[in-house]
């Protein structure tokens, strides 16, 4: 069994894999990680290897808890990857984006793939059919857009994410919901359409915390994978053992 750990800006995702199947998954705040890893260690004694990916900050104590119990790979921009990276500043590329592209390489071999991650930011990453990662784009995520309207104005309120019933907002609150949700939806559909103009037989993968919230709002055909990053980490753990 494998343990994969993805440390984001605010949350930590953990999953236990038996082969390619997830048998346990947990999302926790960073302060709850240490007790969660103790539970996983006791509950799944068959785990022998682990992989750790860190985007946000993570304490040395928490990292040592993983390496103490398991043979651990700390995935970084220096780690082995299965595709050719054409990014001009590879050391500045987020490891989460590398993991997502690795998942696309593994699950959609020989395909032009656009991976869209709906996390803190919306990231777009393109892997061509020849196995070259060409880059992509970064834009503000949904929650960030709500916070920006509140932070950079004097009177607009901070709202929770909510799907608008109509594109025409008839109040300040519904206007905010419309502007943000329709705005990000039109953005994603527009980006997908532009990529399709330039790349035949494009496979689009939507993942991240808000993926299923937006999936049915998009006009373009997409594959929604809520566990795509975790699956990519599990693949990279195996790949780095054999590469």
Residue with token string 């929604």? 224
Two structure tokens written together for 107: 């699950």
Residue with token string 């777009």? 124
Q: Which of 34, 60, 86, 96 is catalytic?
A: 96
CA dist 238 to 1, 138, 141, 178, 217, Å?
11, 29, 31, 43, 35
What are the residues facing 224 on neighbouring strands?
A: 206
Instruction: Tell which residue, 113, 121, 95, has the closest CA to residue 232.
Output: 95
- Which of the 8 DSSP states describes residue 154? S
Two structure tokens written together for 76: 């970084």
Question: How crowded is residue 162: how many other Cβ atoms within 10 Å of its Cβ?
Answer: 13
Instruction: Tell which residue, 120, 3, 4, 7, has the closest CA to residue 59.
Output: 7
Pairing mode of beta strands 11-18, 2-7: antiparallel
User: Is residue 151 classed exposed, middle or buried when 0-12, 13-18 and 19+ CB atoms within 10 A define those classes?
Assistant: exposed
Active site residue 42: no
Residue with token string 């503000």? 140
Q: Would you please indicate which residues are annotated as catalytic (active-site) residues? A: 96
């Amino acid at each position: 069994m494998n343990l994969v750990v993805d440390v984001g800006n605010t949350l930590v995702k953990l999953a236990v894999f038996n082969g390619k199947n997830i048998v346990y998954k947990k999302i926790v705040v960073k302060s709850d990680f240490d007790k969660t890893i103790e539970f996983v260690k006791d509950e799944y004694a068959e785990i022998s290897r682990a992989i750790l990916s860190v985007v946000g900050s993570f304490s040395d104590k928490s990292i040592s808890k993983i390496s103490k119990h398991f043979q651990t790979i700390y995935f970084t921009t220096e780690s082995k990857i299965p595709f050719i990276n054409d990014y001009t500043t590879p050391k500045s590329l987020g490891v989460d984006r590398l993991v997502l592209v690795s998942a696309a390489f593994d699950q959609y071999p020989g395909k032009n793939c656009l991976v869209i991650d709906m996390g803190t930011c919306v990231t777009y990453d393109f892997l061509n059919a020849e196995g070259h990662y060409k880059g992509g784009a970064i834009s503000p995520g949904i929650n960030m857009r709500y916070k920006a309207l509140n932070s950079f104005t004097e009177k607009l309120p901070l709202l929770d994410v909510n799907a608008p019933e109509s594109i025409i907002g008839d109040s300040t609150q519904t206007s905010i919901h419309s502007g943000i949700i329709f705005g990000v939806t039109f953005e994603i559909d527009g980006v997908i359409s532009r990529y399709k103009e330039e790349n035949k037989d494009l496979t689009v993968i939507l993942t991240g915390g808000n993926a299923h919230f937006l999936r049915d709002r998009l006009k373009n055909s997409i594959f929604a994978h809520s566990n795509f990053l975790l699956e990519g980490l599990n693949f990279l753990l195996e790949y780095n053992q054999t590469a």
